[in-house]
Structure 1
Amino acid sequence: MSVGQLPVIARGLIADERFTSCRTTVMDANPDMPQDMAGRIVEEALKFVAACSRNPGVGLAPSRIVDEGWHALLLHTAMYAELCEELGGNFVRHFPGYDPTNYDPAILGRTRRAIAGLGYVPDAELWGDPSDETLAAVAARCQHAPECTIRPMPKPEWP
């Protein structure tokens, strides 16, 4: 994949075995979650990371459910660093924090629009209110506040 070109489906941003490993990480953290739901969550997390990387400085945030998939990606640190590099080099950092009152539909709407701007279709069911656990209850206890929206940083320089 070249920096200017994204795959038709976000799942194509990482190799199948890496996707499977991330999906398994979501399922390990959420033992009763069906495999297809875990896969949807990881795919939305990939869309989110792509949107953040391609829109530095905009300030985007994941829904609580999508954040679970982002956590799984982050736990695969080498793969995650490669993904950020392939998306243009903007390392998308995670700043954890949980306060359900931080829910801001406008930020999630902006994030969904950024995802759509890349040619992906956001899975609307996974971008809702953090208190709505009818679709999927997740272990992640992050809800990003407006002042903690995600702003990608240039590629970190390691010694």
Structure 2
Amino acid sequence: MTIAPERTAEAVKDPRELVSPEVFALLVEDIMRYDHVTRAYAERLIGQALVFLKAHAELIKAAATDPEAWVRIVPSVPVDEGWHAFLKRTKPYHEFGMTHAGTYLHHVPVVDADILSVAALERTVPILRATGYHVDMEFWEAGAGAGCCPPECSTIAD
């Protein structure tokens, strides 16, 4: 008799759901063209950028009613590239922010000790997982580096 191990992995949502199929395809094509990567890699990268932006949006919404809810999260270097690709698609990027955060998601690049530390990425990953979307750890391990996101990178417009 064979005993199957109990499944403990929880189901997670696909980050492609966060944008239309057309927008996802445009972003993937942009990453493939400018970064010279495979389609599979570009799809995974854009997925992780979307998960990061969804987490930022949720933090912004929570902080609007409870300032203590704000936690600084940071993109890894590759995920930051995906964020930049989305920024270049201004209309869908604006719509994403309005839909998920109720505001435009600003990006103000800076590098500081917190961003360069492993602690910044370690703080980010559980918040990403809390969104319920798939977190691809290849993009979030300490070796992935840290992107250019400052404390005010995704703030409500002044």
Scaled to the shorter chain, the TM-score interval is 0.7 to 0.9
Distance 1:102 1:79 in 2: 27
Per-residue Cα deviation, 1:73-97 (whole angstroms, up to 9, x for no partner): 1111110110011103143211224
The counterpart of 1:103, out of the listed 116, 123, 126, is 116
Task: Give 5+ residue unaligned stretches, structure 1.
Answer: 1-6, 133-141
1:1-16 matches, within 5 Å, as 8-16=13-21
Alignment of 1:42-61 (within 5 A): 42-56=46-60, 57-61=70-74
Offset of residue 27 of structure 1 = 1.1
Partner AA of 1:153 in structure 2 = T
Structure 2 equivalent of residue 88 of structure 1: 101
Aligned to 1:153: 155
User: Which one has the largest radius of gyration?
Assistant: 2
Aligned positions, number: 138
Q: Structure 2 counterpart of 1:108, which letter?
A: L
**What RMSD, in angstroms, separates the aligned Cα atoms of the two structures?**
2.6
SS at match of 1:38: helix
Moved more, 15-24 or 87-96: 87-96
1:144 aligns with 2:154: no
TM-score in terms of structure 1 length = 0.75
Deviation at 1:122, TM superposition (A): 1.2
Question: Could you tell me how far apart the structure 2 residues matched to 1:131 and 1:13 are?
Answer: 23
SS at match of 1:55: helix
1:29 shift after superposition = 1.4
Aligned pairs (5 A) from 1:104-119: 104-119=117-132
Compared with structure 1, are the counterparts of its residues 131 and 89 closer, same or farther at alpha carbon in structure 2 (3 Å cutoff)? Answer: closer
Shift of 1:120: 1.7
**Which is richer in helix?**
2
| Residue of structure 1 equivalent to 2:29 | 24
The question of whether the paired residues in 2 share the 8 Å contact of 1:92 and 1:150 is answered with no
Matched-pair contact (CA < 8 Å) for 2:121–2:142: no
Q: Runs of 5+ in structure 2 lacking a partner?
A: 1-11, 61-69
1:150 Cα offset (Å): 4.9
